[in-house]
Amino acid sequence: MRIAFVTAEIAPFSKTGGLGDVSAAFPKAMQGLGHKIVIITPLYKSIDTKKFRLQLVKENIIAKIGEKVELFDLYVSFIPHSKVPVYFIKNPYLYREGIYVDEDGEDYSDSAYRFLTFTKSVFAMLRWLKFSPDIIHCNDWHTGLLPFFLKTEYNDVDLFKKSKSVFTIHNIGYQGIYPFEDIADAELADVYFDEDLLGFYGKINFMKGAIVYSDILTTVSSKYAEEIQTKEFGYGLESFIEQRKEDLYGIVHGVDLNVWNPKSDPLLVKNYDSKNLKGKTESKSYLQDKLNLNVSDLPILGVISRLATQKGLDLILEKFDDIMKLKVQFILLGTGEPELEKKFKKKEEKYHENSSINIMFDNTLAHQIEAAADIFLMPSKYEPCGLNQLYSMIYGTVPLVRNTGGLSDTVQNYDPKTEEGTGFVFENPNVKEFFAAVKRAVKVYKEEPEKWLKLKKKIMNLDFTWKNAAKQWQKVYELAQDKKR
Ligand code: ADP
C-alpha cells in the first residue's frame, strides 16, 4: 500500500511526547512490512536542518485556503538509520520555534489556522509529488481536518479517489477547539459547522471533524478505546465515538529497540541486558552522582513526564513526605504546568539529598533515568497508551501504574506470593491506593531482593517490538481500503 503518514511531531526532529516517538517508530515498522510510506510534518524553526541534512525538494508550492494563498517550500530527509522519507512543510510565518506553544509556553493565537494550513499543504505536496495514497494516516487534532477535506473538497480529485483516511486518537484531552472565525479564511459552507459535523457548542472542533469524517478510527490501546466512549474519559466526544464504535480499533504501540534498548543505548554510561545487570547498577550510581544525590542502594523512584494534570502527579505531591519516609530516592524529569513545577521544586529543597527535580526537556537524562531507576511511577488519571512504562520494563525498571488505558493493557499487577505480574498496579486515582502500591513495591525491593531480581529480568525479556502491532495495523489498513467512499 501507499501510505501518507501525517503528524505534527516526529522524533528526533521535533518531539514533545509520545506522539513524536511513535511517528518515527510506526512508519519504520510499516515500511518493514513492504509498504511505501512517506511522512509529512511541519518544519519548525527549532529543527536543526543542517544536522539532519534536510534537502530542498521544491520552492513555493501553493496551498489554497479559500481564496487565500499560502506558499511553502518542501524539504525532505530520512528518519535516522532508515529509508523512511520525512517531508517537511516550510512556512516560517506559521511554523515558528515551538510545536504547539510559543517561548512563554502560551498557545499560539493562530493555532487553528496553522494546522488548517498544514492540512491543506499536505494535499498540495502530495499533488506535487504525484503520490496517490491508498491510506492517509492522520494523528491527533492537528490533522483532524484532513479526513474532512478528503471527503469534501478533494473527493473528486483523481489522485485521491482511492484514498482512505485513518485517524488515530493519541489523546482525546486535546481536541483543537476554536472559534469559527479562526478558520474563516477556509470559507467553509455554514452547513459544515452543524453540531453533527465540525461544530461543537458553537465552535469548531478539529478532532471531532476527524471522528465524523475518517474512514477508520483508531486509538492506542484497547482499554482506552472503551474508555473514550464514556463520559469520564471522552471529554464531550463520547457519543460521537460511540456512534462510530464499529470502525474503532485500539492498538498498543511497540517500541523501537534501535532507540530504547539498554544493550546498545549510546546515552548510557554502561550498557547491560537481563543476563548481566552490572551496567544498570553503574547507571544508578552514575546518575546519583551526576544529580548530587547520596550514592546508595536506596530504591530510586523515577518520573519522566509532561507535567500535566492528566499524569496524576498530584498524588505524588500529596504523598511526598510519606514516600520519603520509606527511605527512597526520587528523581523527576519534566516540564509543563508552572504550578506543578513549583510544587516539585519545593519538595526538592526539603529533601535535597534524596530527591532531584529536573524541570527541563532532556532526552539524554530521560534515557539515563530509565536505566538508573528501580521503580517508575505513572499514576496517570488517564493514559491512552503510555510509552514510558514500556521503556521502563525494557530497562529493568519496574513500573508502578494506575489501571487505565494503555497502562492497563501492558502492566499486570505483581503478586510476590505467586510471582505473577509485571509491575505494581492500583485501581482508583486516590492517594490511599496510590501510596499502598508504592509501599508494596518498596517492600518487595527491600525485603525480597531475589524476587525483585527475578521480576526485573522477567520484564526485560517481554516482547514490546512492533511485530504484533504492525500485523494488527496491516489488518486495519485493509479494512479501511474496503470502505466505500
Ligand atoms: P505523552 O505522550 O502523554 O507525553 P508517553 O509516555 O506516551 O506520554 O511519552 C512520553 C515521551 O516523552 C517519552 O519518550 C518520554 O521519555 C518523553 N519525555 C517526556 N517528558 C520529557 C522530558 N522532560 N525530557 C525528555 N523526554 C521527555
For the stretch 363-419, pLDDT in tens is 999 999 999 999 999 999 999 999 999 999 999 999 999 999 999 999 999 999 999
Which portions of the chain are predicted below pLDDT 50?
none
Q: What separation in Å is there between the alpha carbon of 306 and the centre of ligand 1?
A: 6
| Whether the CB of 388 sits within 6 Å of ligand 1 | yes
pLDDT at position 484: 83
How far apart are the CA of 399 and the centre of ligand 1, in A?
Answer: 15
- Domain positions in the chain are 2-254+466-482, 278-460
Does residue 119 line the site of ligand 1, with CB under 6 A?
A: no
**The predicted structure's pLDDT at residue 111:** 98
Q: For domain 2-254+466-482, give the fold.
A: Rossmann fold (3.40.50)
Beta carbon of 335 within 6 Å of any ligand 1 atom: yes
- Ligand 1 centroid to Cα of residue 407, in Å, is 15
Which are the contacts of 472, defined by CB distance < 8 A and separation ≥ 6? 249, 251
Category of 235 on φ-ψ map: left (φ > 0), alpha (ψ -120 to 50) or beta = left
Instruction: Return the ligand 1 atom nearest residue 306 CA.
Output: 20
- pLDDT of amino acid 105: 84
Structure confidence at residue 182 (pLDDT): 98
> Which CATH architecture fits 278-460?
3-Layer(aba) Sandwich (3.40)
Residue 382: count other Cβ atoms within 10 Å of its Cβ: 24
One-letter-per-residue 3-state SS of 434-480: HHHHHHHHHHHHHHCHHHHHHHHHHHHCCCCCCHHHHHHHHHHHHHH
pLDDT tens readout for residues 129-164 = 999 999 999 999 999 999 999 999 999 999 999 999
pLDDT tens per residue, range 178-214: 999 999 999 999 999 999 999 999 999 999 999 999 9
Q: What span, in angstroms and rounded, lies between the C-alpha atoms of 262 and 259?
A: 9
Atom of ligand 1 nearest to the CA of 385: 7
Pocket test for ligand 1, best of 7, 26, 368, 388 (most atoms within 8 A of CB): 388
Q: Quick one: which of 94, 53, 52 has its CA closest to 73? A: 94
* pTM tops 0.75: yes
How is residue 400 written as a grid cell?
A: 508502578
**Three-class HEC string of 78-138:** ECCCCCCEEEEEECCCCCCCCCCECCCCCECCCHHHHHHHHHHHHHHHHHHHCCCCCEEEE
